[in-house]
Amino acid sequence: MSLEDALAKVPGDLLGPKRVHVHITGRVQGVFFRDSCKQEADRHHVIGWVRNNPDGSVEALFQGDPSAIEQILAWCHTGPPRARVAEIHTNYLDVETSQESVDPDFGNIKKSSGFQIR
C-alpha cells in the first residue's frame, strides 16, 4: 500500500489542523456574508478571520480540523441566501510557517481569538 493510500484511510481529524486562505468574488458584500461566515466558522470550531476587500470581494483565513475546513469551504460556495458567489480561489497554507505569508495584515491566528470579522 502506498503512503497516499494509507493516508486516505486515516480520518482527517487525525492529520492535524489545516489552514486555507480564501478569496471569494461575486455579490458577497452587503449580504451578511461576513457575519454568516463567522456563524459557520463558530459552528464548525474553525478559527481565523473574514474581511471585505475594496474591490467588492471577501477574503478569509480558516484554520481547523480538515473535515471542518472542507465543510466551511463548501458553505463558501453559496454563502448566505442573498449572496451570489461567482468564484472562490483557495490557497492551502502550512499551519506552522504561514503566519505572515499573504500580506502584512495577515495576522497571527491564536486559538483564543476564535473567528473574527475584520
Query: Is 43 annotated as catalytic?
Result: no
> In the chain, what is the greatest distance between 2 CA atoms, to the nearest angstrom?
50
Query: Is 34 annotated as catalytic?
Result: yes
- Out of 19, 27, 51, 52, the active site residue is 52
- Out of 19, 27, 34, 43, the active site residue is 34
Cα dist from 101 to 19, 29, 96, 104, whole Å: 12, 25, 11, 8
Residue in the block written with cell 493516508: 7
3-class secondary structure, 41: helix
Catalytic residue positions?
34, 52
